[in-house]
Structures are given as structure tokens and as C-alpha cells.
Chains A and B, each alone.
Chain A
Amino acid sequence: MFRPLMRTSMIAGMALALFAAGPAAAASPWGEGYLPDAPLTDQDGRTRRFYSDVLKGRIAVIAFIYTSCRDICPVVTARLAQVQDRLNQERRDKGGAERAADPVFVAISIDPVTDTPARLKDYAEAFGVGPGWSFLTGRPEDIELVRYKLGERSRKLVDHSKTILLYNDATGEWARDSAFGDLTVLASTIRAMNPAFSAGTPAATGGAPAIGEASIAPDLPGQSLFLKTCAACHTVGGGTRVGPDLAGVGSRRSRDWLVSYVTDPQRMRAQGDATALDLARAFPSVRMPNLSLSDTDAADVLAYVEAMTYGAREAAKDKEASAEPADAHAHHHHHHH
């Protein structure tokens, strides 16, 4: 008798707590009124007012970019694209349609003179971002206002903030995060920006290991570096993403060339290396960035790629052995760049 009563009052309490989030929006000093409503332009050339068209009533993931960045910033966009994939995948798995409550992604160019809408469009397509992602540029003074207000106050392009911002306009809440953390955790942090989502659902982290066990993560050299910085753009045997598939790259190129290219692609292009220039032509919108890898880092990454190549090849062999006729898909694995 007693127990059901308890439940009801508990649920009622939770509903109240959710309601309480409503009026908070007005109280937040960092919502409408604080956020500039400057007219910006998206990658399709449409004028979008920053507050009323982009953020109002939405949950947003915001990052600062510039397309000419030759260093680590493209990796931020690429990793956010992975997060977006993951969020979309989870929604599809649950059979959900696109809803207004889905988070939107916003990439604000901090180099608006260079980054025209057309250039942003190429950039967005190179990363294969899904719908619901605005790449914004605009008049320099408007961009300056927007980025200042959001705490992106660097004095030089190369010093710009690599942190990402999460915002829920309904609650007026802000959070910071990093694209270089665990992407599954980031995806659940983004989902939790929606109080309706975070209430009553256990943290869906996918494939959670047993509590308190030692990690079963394999300790392959270069694994972490590959997953953090390379996997956002490259697969090993999974096809072309932002950049070429790296399966078998160790047999296509010389070791010295690979080390030089991985550690400093910019220099290779500047020196007129034919292969580097071919790659730049094949992937015109996003060039292989200079990630400041040392020779030892490069050795780690290449060892990992070789291990994964071997793994992919063995897996393919097994597949062929078990299912002889089905090789129509196998052709996809043989891109050569």
C-alpha cells in the first residue's frame, strides 16, 4: 500500500523539478539579452540572426573554427562530426524522428574575411556533417562581438579556443567541454543538457564494462594518438572519410616518406613533394594538418596502422573463407591514393 504512494509522490516531485527549470531561463544572466542577435551568414548563404535564428529555443554545441587552420583545429570539427553521428545513430536506434529538441551544432568562423559562405560549404561537405549544423561567418565586427561574448577572446587566430560550449536556451545553462575527451561521454553530456532527457534515464554509455574491473583496453602503441587525432578523418579499411583510407599505407609509401608526412605535411607540400601535392588535390577542402607529432609519435601511429591493416586483412580473409560468393563489397576496400 505504502510503496506505490511513495512512487507517485516521487514522480510528482520530479515533474515539479522539471517545471522549475522553466522560470530559470528568465533568471539566467547569460541567455537572451546577453547573447548578441547579430545577423550572420551560414554556409548556404542565408542570413541567420545569432540569437533568434540560431540559438533561440535550442540546445546547441558551439565551436570556433577557421578553415585555413593548418594545425589541430580541423580535428575539432572532425571529432564533433563523429559526436553528431553518434547522437543521430542513437536516435535512429530508438526509432526517433528528428525533433526540435535535438541539439544543433554551430561552428563560428573567427576568420570571417577568409571564410566566405562558399568556403564554409566546402569545408562542411569535406567533413560530411549532417543536417542541423550551421557554419557561420559574417561581418568582422559582428563576428568579433559574438566570439567576445562567448569568451573566445584570443588575440591571434592560432591562440583561439579549442574548447567547445554547450548551451540550452530553455534553461539558460552553459557548460564547457573538450572535443578531445571521450566522445561517448561527450555525447551523453550533450544529451544531459536537456533536462527531459537526463531525468529518469540511466547514463546510456554503451558497452559499459563491469564495475571496478581493470581496463581491458588493449595497449597497442599509437592507439590513443590514432583515436584522438587520426580516426576523426581516417579509417583503416573502413573507406574514405575526410581523408584517405589508411589500410595498407605502409606498403604503398616508404617509411621515411610516411614519417616526414605525418610529422610535418605542411613542409612536404611547401617543398613541392609530388605525393603530398597529389593528396592536397585529391582532398582540396581539408588538408592534412600539422599536428606537431614527434618521430616517436609517428612511429607509434604507423605501428598502429600496420596492426589494424593486418587485422582488417585477416578479418576480410575470414569473411571470404566463410562466405565465398559475397565479395561484391570487398572492392570498396581497394582505394589507392
Chain B
Amino acid sequence: MQEAERARENRLEIVKAHSHGEITKRDMFRWGIYGASGLIAAKHGLSPFVRSAYAAVPTGTPASPLFGAQKFHEPLNRAVVQPRIPLVAAAGSDDVLWMDPNGRPYANEMPGRRLSYHDEWSKKGANWQRLSNPLTGRGPCEGRPPGEFFAHQRWSKDPTSANRDLFPKVGYIMSLGQCRSSTKYCNEMPAQNANAMWSFGPRQAGWRGSNSGSRLGYGAPCLIKARYGEPLLTRIYNDLPVDRTQNGGFGRNEISTHFHNAHNGAESDGACNAYHFPGTFYDYHWGTTLARRDMPNIRAFNDPNYQRKASGPDDGTGLVMVEGDYRELQGTLWFHDHRFFFTAENVHKGNFALCNYYSGPDRACTSVVDGVNLLLPSGDSLPWGNQDFDVNLAVTNPAFDKDGQLFFDIFDTDGFLGDMLAVNGSYYPYMEVLPRRYRFRILNASMSRFIKLAVAVNNSRTFSSGTTVPFWFIANDGNLLVNPVQLMEMEEQGVAERYDIVIDFSAFADGDSVYLVNLLQQTSGMKPDGAVSMSNALKGVAADPCVGPIMEFRVRRGGIKSVDDPSRTYTGLEADPSADFSTSDWKGGLRTLTTQIPVVAPVRERVIEFNRSGGGDSRDPKTGQCIPECGTIESFPWAVKINGQAAHSLNANRIGALVPKPGEVEYWTLVNGGTGWDHPIHLHFEEGITLDRGGASIGPTEKLVRKDVWRLRPGGTVRFQVRFGEFGGSYVNHCHNTVHEDFAMLLRYQLLTPAPNDPDFAKTGSRPHWQISNTPIPSPDGVTFRVPEVLPEAQPTFKPPTRA
């Protein structure tokens, strides 16, 4: 152990040798002679040759100590469902009150309001002290920037308002805090220190907080069960230590929560440089807005149920109709930190949680048969949001230091890879399942690791070990496919991608065991090496300990307790009323999960090239000759072309003016300009319909499927159709290898809403968002604004230039 830890300190030599392949005498000599003090492995009594004993993963650091942990010894943590707090509109203002179980407002929890509390705090009136950060006494209690640009859009309790239905009804008070004292990846491993892991957890109304942080975070991911027609107000408190150096070696105590990829205003998107400080909260208005709400003319009118499908479940068997296009319904979502320059560290540290949007068609209850409900596997104990057979699985990729504490190499700029996969914060867990259909909502929540999952028999009375088990792929990034696709293995899954699948365990006998297997080997943060065969994956791969089974399903004919109704135990004799995709109605396409959004001619086409290498090489375009030599040119983070016109990535006057008005159809082509990397690129706020991958193959889980993250593949291209609408403000498009994101592979775009002279102005509820915004600059003493030195967003005044 000591040796390994010394090796960790000397990981420079280790990795260098690995990249050199062979270690020569010259290397030895050189290290012996030239090394700076404290860096030479040999001086610590550790031969540099020891490096060959380590696999390439985790990158640049020795294997994580396991403390005798065994795989598949502990049950899966289920995501922790967050308590709902009813909200009631306050009399005489547009505030909302947080209600206690007795129906009275919590005395010590500030009401939610349209404008940030920063506005009132800045006036330094009578309430100034009460409105200040309770821990530091500096700055306001709310981290949301002041002013109309950061006021909640479409926030009105006025019964005559077009947006009355988006006024929040249910609230969540969450803490982003230090992990609870008992947080462990498994029993054998040591508990995580308070500042080793920071994650979400529920927060008591009125909790005061502490300067040294509050241990309110869970190791397992939290889950918000949301439904269309029931808008949320989510208050997130920063319960991290006030002293930002108390971070256990990585992570920043300033947080910004991006709801990936819900349809929210920019002020609630959590990516607009509006991070906040310990002691403060930020109110996010997550209105469950259904996209195309403002475009009633483009509904799927040929579907007789098109209105009823645009709905959320009520508490009985009914539906709450909402405005919007049901083809835009979303399901499996998540939210995570987006603090610029620190996203990778913070998300790796645990700063993420899950959110499922339930809708009329996807209500997660198999006892409501109304012609709209798709009857996806879930359960029937609750009127919606059952989880007995509908399971969120968040896959993470940790590594540990010698003390078993979460480790991250802040200098690993290619992308840091850990050496194990955890599911819902459990080290290689098992889950007991009944012999019936289950839906799994699988999220890749790593920093830089791609995965490719499949299902295989471990032990069975009927099937031989290693047999691949087919499953149905039903949703990509939270968007239902039109037709479920039967697969033997999944596509690669990049960071932030969500794949929903249905596995049918009914062919298995009591005591059978089935594995969820990762087939994808990756030893560099830049891109995966490639998939291995199932048999090799089950044997294990020396170079990458993350290849192989990551979770076990143990089939039990009964005796499994319900999570939805703790008083209930399944006998295994219950009928399975969930949709069976192997029937002819589904296979023949008579029944579908949703309806295809038509592909139409775009108003404009944008080509965005990530990691473009300059303008190409220095060859003369006419003669092809090199003058003076064919040197390569410095690479830029990205480059943009709009309708064929190129613009420099720093020409914000031109490229920033991205979306001049809502509702127009655009085609975006994302190009991976560098050849050696794969980038999962994420578009905030809207989903795109994946059209093609240039000339390359495109699988059935992507073709014409709505997505919000695309793996570009090394040297690859992807094109999608997208339409923006409903909200305004500044959003981003970026690489979701969170390490690359921190290295500025990030493009901002501004959506402009209708101007006051536009008849649609009143309807939008977006006030100043038809104009350019100033840049918020958060500080512990409050937010200031600056006229941008360069315009990050600008008026769309593009005219092709003419040469004089």
C-alpha cells in the first residue's frame, strides 16, 4: 500500500513510461540524474519498472484500494425519492409559500418569488439583515442574480394570465451538502469524509446551515418525481464549507445547478454563469413546460388523442391536460453542477441528481387503462411514478486514494478515468427482480468514460452462462422512440446520455442470475479503445477493470418487498400488465410509443466544428503547394458556420446572435474537427431530431430520434433538426466530457423572445429577453453586472459582407 501511494506521488514517471511503451536504461539514467527532489521513484525505493504492474486505468494513478470489497455482495441503492412540499400562492403578492404537513406555511423558510431576494437586499431596507447570507453576513441570502433578466419567466398566478398553469404548485428544498457521515460505496470500504463527496439531499425547512458545511448529502443519487401539469419550484441550498480550500483536494464550493435538459427559462437553466455561494440558496422554476406550447398550429392533428397525450397524471386515474406538443414529452432527466471551470470536479464529487418527468402516456402506473397510458413497466401501487419495476440506474466511475476517499486528478486534462463502475453510488451491487418486465433508466454520470452495456446470463437452470439476453430500447435521452427497438447490446453511451430499456426476466427461474455488462474498454480520457466480445468481457480485460459485469440481477419468484408500498410483498404470482413489445401489434408498428416529428426544410443551417484545427493547413488553395512548409495550425475550441458563412469562434457579434426568434426550424451539424478524440456534445434546452451522421452509419436508436447529447465519434459528424421556443435568455452548447467542458469547449447562444411591439409579447411572460443581457458576476458579497467587454450575444444583424 505504501509503495502504491508513493507510486501515486510519482505518477508522472508511471504514465510517462506507459506512454513510451518501453523503458530504456537511458530513461532510468535520466530520471536518476535529472529528476527534481521528491519526484524520482528510485529515490523512494520504488523501481520505475513497477509501473508496468499497473493497468492504464485509473489514468495516471495506482489502482484504488478495495479493502476486501467483493462484487455483487450488496443490494442496489435505490435513488432517494425527495419529499414533495405543497406550495400555496401568498395573498397580495406573487410569492409562493412552503406549507408544512399541517397546512401552515413554514415560518423560517422564505417564500418563493419571481424576482430574486437579491433585489430587495440591494435596497438595504429594514429587512436587510434577514435577507443577508445567514452564515457569512455578506451578500444576499439568494444567489440568483437580481433584476428582470433573472426573474422567473412565465411566473404568474393571475387567473387571466396565459401562463397561470406554470405557476409552481410543488416545491423541493434540497441541500447540496457534504456527504452524510455513513456514506460508503460498500460496507468494506471506509466512510467518505465530509469533504470527499458533496451531493444532494433533502433539507429541513428553516435549517440554518453551518460555516463548516452541513452533512446533508446522500451518497446515492436523489430522485425528484415530477409530472406534467404540476410545476416545480426547486430551492437548492449551498451547504458546503464557507472556506473554499476545504475541498478534499478537488471541487469548488460554488455551485450552479443545470437541469439537463428540461424546457426552462435561462434563469432556471443553471448554466448562465450564475453560481452561488455557501449559505445561499437559488430558486429554480422548473415549470414542466411542454415544448411548442406557443405553437398550437403544429400539433399532431391526425392523432385523435393528440390533446389527451399532452398531459400529466393526476392523483387518481385521470389526466391533467397541458398546453404543448405530446411529441415533445420528456422522461428521464437529471440535474448536475455547471460551475464553469469546475464542472468536472464537482460532478465527479457527487453533485448530481435524477429527475423523472411523468406524463399521460408515460405515467409509470400499469393499472390506468385510458387509451393514452403506454403501460410501461413500473407498478400499480401509486397512481403515477411507480418504481417497483421502473428503476433509475446512475453509473459513475470513481477512483479512491489510499484512504479510500474519492480521488480526482485535477491536472488530468485528457479526461480522468476511474477504475471501477458504481451504480447509484453502490460498488457493483445486485438487485433482486421478479420474473417479469422491468424498465431501467440508465444514466452515464461519469466524467470522461463511455460505456456500452449488454445483458448476459450469469447462472441459469435453462440457459448457458454467457448467453446474451435481448432487451428493448424505448427512449434516448429521455425521449421515447416511435417504435421500441430490440437489441442484443446497446450503442455506446457517452457522459450524460440516458438510455431507457426494458428487460423481460420472465423466462428465468427462481435463483437464476443475470449480469448487466460493460463491453467497452477505455484506457484514455480522449476516447474509448473499442468494445470487446461478451465472453471476453465476462472473463475480464487486464487493461481496463471497468470492462465486465457491473451489476447482477437475481431472479426471485416472490418475496420481494415493494418500494412504492412498503407494506406490500410481491408473491411472484401477480400478472404483468405492462406493454409486451414482442406482440404483433408492437412489432408491426400498429402500436407506437410516440409519433415522429416531421423533418422539414430549415430556415437556417449551422455547422459547428468542435476542436477545429485552425483554418486547416497552410496549403495554398489554388496550387496545393505549401508556403513555406505545411505546418499545422493552432487549434481553436470550436468554429461556426451559419448558412455557409464562416465566422471566427471569437467573433461574438456574428456567431452569438444565434436564435433571433422562437419557432423557426434549424439544422445543426456538429463536426468533430480533431481526429483523436470523441466528444459527447450537449445542446441545452431543446432536443434535436437526429438526421444523419454524415456518411457514417447511424443506428435505429438514433435515426430520427430526439436527443440532447450526441457522441461525435473521432472525426465524426452528426446533423439534427431543432426548433427553439417558449423561453429566452442565454444558453450553451458544449462537450459533456466534463473535463473538456472545463477547457472551454463551450458555445453560448441567446434566444430572443418577441419584442414588446410583437403581439406575442404578452403571451410569453418573458420581459426583457428580447434584448441582450449583461453578464452577471457572482461574488460572496452579491452579484454585479458588466456590460460585456465583448458581446456574448448580439442582435442578429448578419449581412453578407461585400469586398470594397
A, B bound: yes
Residues of A within 8 A of B (CB): 10, 13-14, 17, 20-21, 24-25, 27-30, 33-34, 36-39, 50, 69-73, 139, 141-142, 145, 148-153, 156, 158-159, 161-163, 171-178, 180, 182-185, 188, 192, 195, 198, 200-203, 205, 207-217, 219-225, 227-229, 255-256, 259, 266-267, 270-271, 290-297, 299-300
B411–A151 CB distance below 8 A = yes
A208–B786 CB distance below 8 A = yes
Contacting residues, chain A, for B653 (C-beta < 8 A): 219-225, 300
Task: Assess whether B801 is interfacial by the CB under 8 Å rule.
Answer: yes
B634–A69 CB distance below 8 A = yes
Contacting residues, chain B, for A270 (C-beta < 8 A): 627-628
Partner-contacting stretch, out of B88-96, B598-606, B641-649:
B641-649
B243–A20 CB distance below 8 A = yes
13 pairs across A/B with beta carbons < 8 Å? A13-B211, A24-B246, A36-B39, A176-B742, A195-B243, A205-B784, A211-B785, A213-B147, A215-B772, A216-B787, A222-B651, A225-B651, A293-B648
- For residue A282, give the distance in angstroms from its CB to the closest CB of chain B: 21
Nearest CB to that of B645 among chain A residues? A296
A219–B797 CB distance below 8 A = yes
Contacting residues, chain B, for A38 (C-beta < 8 A): 36
Contacting residues, chain B, for A172 (C-beta < 8 A): 245
Q: How far is the CA of A163 from the CA of B743 in the complex (A)?
A: 7
Say yes or no: A217-B787 contact (C-beta < 8 A), given A225-B652, A292-B633, A292-B636: yes
Contacting residues, chain B, for A201 (C-beta < 8 A): 781
Contacting residues, chain B, for A209 (C-beta < 8 A): 774, 785-787
A221–B797 CB distance below 8 A = yes
Contacting residues, chain B, for A213 (C-beta < 8 A): 147, 768, 774, 785
Nearest CB to that of B772 among chain A residues? A215
Contacting residues, chain B, for A36 (C-beta < 8 A): 36, 39
Task: Assess whether B779 is interfacial by the CB under 8 Å rule.
Answer: yes
B772–A294 CB distance below 8 A = no
B648–A256 CB distance below 8 A = no
Say yes or no: A214-B743 contact (C-beta < 8 A), given A209-B774, A296-B646: no
A151–B410 CB distance below 8 A = yes
Interface mask (B337-364 → A, CB under 8 Å = 1, otherwise 0): 0000110000000000000000000000
- For residue A251, give the distance in angstroms from its CB to the closest CB of chain B: 12
Say yes or no: A156-B632 contact (C-beta < 8 A), given A216-B787, A297-B651: yes
A182–B651 CB distance below 8 A = no
Query: Total A-B residue pairs with C-beta atoms closer than 8 Å?
Result: 261
B801–A296 CB distance below 8 A = yes
A203–B782 CB distance below 8 A = yes
Contacting residues, chain B, for A141 (C-beta < 8 A): 30, 34
Contacting residues, chain A, for B413 (C-beta < 8 A): 151-153, 161
Contacting residues, chain B, for A295 (C-beta < 8 A): 801, 803
B147–A211 CB distance below 8 A = yes
Number of interface residues of B (CB under 8 A): 94
B777–A205 CB distance below 8 A = yes
B627–A271 CB distance below 8 A = yes
B789–A294 CB distance below 8 A = no
Contacting residues, chain B, for A151 (C-beta < 8 A): 410-413
Contacting residues, chain B, for A195 (C-beta < 8 A): 243, 245
Contacting residues, chain B, for A162 (C-beta < 8 A): 744
Q: How far is the CA of A266 from the CA of B413 in the complex (A)?
A: 30
Which residue, B414, B635, B797, has most C-beta atoms of chain A within 10 A?
B635
Q: How far is the CA of A73 from the CA of B636 in the complex (A)?
A: 10
Which residue, B414, B779, B803, has most C-beta atoms of chain A within 10 A?
B779
A212–B150 CB distance below 8 A = yes
Q: How far is the CA of A220 from the CA of B9 in the complex (A)?
A: 52
Task: Assess whether B615 is interfacial by the CB under 8 Å rule.
Answer: yes
Task: Assess whether B511 is interfacial by the CB under 8 Å rule.
Answer: no
Contacting residues, chain B, for A33 (C-beta < 8 A): 9, 38
Task: Assess whether B790 is interfacial by the CB under 8 Å rule.
Answer: yes
Contacting residues, chain B, for A180 (C-beta < 8 A): 650, 744
Q: How far is the CA of A50 from the CA of B34 in the complex (A)?
A: 14
Contacting residues, chain B, for A210 (C-beta < 8 A): 785
Say yes or no: A215-B12 contact (C-beta < 8 A), given A72-B634, A294-B646: no
Contacting residues, chain B, for A202 (C-beta < 8 A): 779, 781-782, 784
Cross-chain contact of B627 among A176, A219, A267, A294 (Cβ < 8 A): A267
Give the 9 A-B residue pairs with the shortest CB-CB distance, closest first.
A212-B147, A71-B634, A151-B411, A203-B779, A224-B790, A299-B801, A214-B771, A224-B652, A24-B245
A227–B789 CB distance below 8 A = yes
B36–A158 CB distance below 8 A = no
Nearest CB to that of A170 among chain B residues? B245
Interface mask (B499-529 → A, CB under 8 Å = 1, otherwise 0): 0000000000000000000000000000000
Q: How far is the CA of A209 from the CA of B787 in the complex (A)?
A: 7
Cross-chain contact of B785 among A161, A208, A259, A291 (Cβ < 8 A): A208
Q: How far is the CA of A156 from the CA of B773 in the complex (A)?
A: 39
Nearest CB to that of A205 among chain B residues? B784
- For residue A48, give the distance in angstroms from its CB to the closest CB of chain B: 13
Contacting residues, chain A, for B252 (C-beta < 8 A): 175
Task: Assess whether B795 is interfacial by the CB under 8 Å rule.
Answer: yes
Q: How far is the CA of A216 from the CA of B788 in the complex (A)?
A: 9
Q: How far is the CA of A213 from the CA of B790 in the complex (A)?
A: 17
Cross-chain contact of A224 among B342, B635, B779, B791 (Cβ < 8 A): B791
- For residue B525, give the distance in angstroms from its CB to the closest CB of chain A: 10
B249–A28 CB distance below 8 A = yes
Cross-chain contact of A145 among B39, B615, B620, B775 (Cβ < 8 A): B39
Task: Assess whether B21 is interfacial by the CB under 8 Å rule.
Answer: no
Contacting residues, chain A, for B148 (C-beta < 8 A): 212
**Chain B, range 606-657, C-beta contacts under 8 Å to A:** 613-615, 618, 620, 627-628, 631-636, 639, 645-648, 650-654, 656
Nearest CB to that of B411 among chain A residues? A151
Interface mask (B131-152 → A, CB under 8 Å = 1, otherwise 0): 0000011100000011111110
Q: How far is the CA of A240 from the CA of B744 in the complex (A)?
A: 31
Q: How far is the CA of A153 from the CA of B414 in the complex (A)?
A: 8
Say yes or no: A267-B618 contact (C-beta < 8 A), given A163-B743, A219-B795: yes
Nearest CB to that of B774 among chain A residues? A215
Contacting residues, chain B, for A71 (C-beta < 8 A): 614, 633-634
- For residue B126, give the distance in angstroms from its CB to the closest CB of chain A: 13
Contacting residues, chain B, for A175 (C-beta < 8 A): 252, 341-342
B803–A299 CB distance below 8 A = yes
- For residue B755, give the distance in angstroms from its CB to the closest CB of chain A: 11
A183–B781 CB distance below 8 A = no
Contacting residues, chain B, for A24 (C-beta < 8 A): 243, 245-246
A211–B794 CB distance below 8 A = no
Q: How far is the CA of A225 from the CA of B648 in the complex (A)?
A: 8
Contacting residues, chain A, for B138 (C-beta < 8 A): 200
Contacting residues, chain B, for A72 (C-beta < 8 A): 634, 636
Nearest CB to that of A173 among chain B residues? B245
Task: Assess whether B470 is interfacial by the CB under 8 Å rule.
Answer: no
A217–B791 CB distance below 8 A = yes
B150–A296 CB distance below 8 A = no
Task: Assess whether B763 is interfacial by the CB under 8 Å rule.
Answer: no
A37–B145 CB distance below 8 A = no
B211–A211 CB distance below 8 A = no
Q: How far is the CA of A159 from the CA of B16 in the complex (A)?
A: 18
Task: Assess whether B800 is interfacial by the CB under 8 Å rule.
Answer: yes
Q: How far is the CA of A148 from the CA of B782 in the complex (A)?
A: 37
Contacting residues, chain A, for B631 (C-beta < 8 A): 70, 158
Q: How far is the CA of A228 from the CA of B792 in the complex (A)?
A: 11
B12–A149 CB distance below 8 A = yes
Q: How far is the CA of A176 from the CA of B211 in the complex (A)?
A: 25
Nearest CB to that of B641 among chain A residues? A294
- For residue B642, give the distance in angstroms from its CB to the closest CB of chain A: 10
Cross-chain contact of B777 among A37, A70, A185, A220 (Cβ < 8 A): A185
- For residue A239, give the distance in angstroms from its CB to the closest CB of chain B: 21
- For residue B708, give the distance in angstroms from its CB to the closest CB of chain A: 25
Other 10 A-B pairs with CB < 8 A, given A200-B138, A213-B785, A267-B618: A10-B136, A17-B242, A145-B39, A205-B786, A211-B122, A219-B794, A228-B790, A290-B614, A294-B646, A300-B653
Contacting residues, chain B, for A299 (C-beta < 8 A): 801, 803
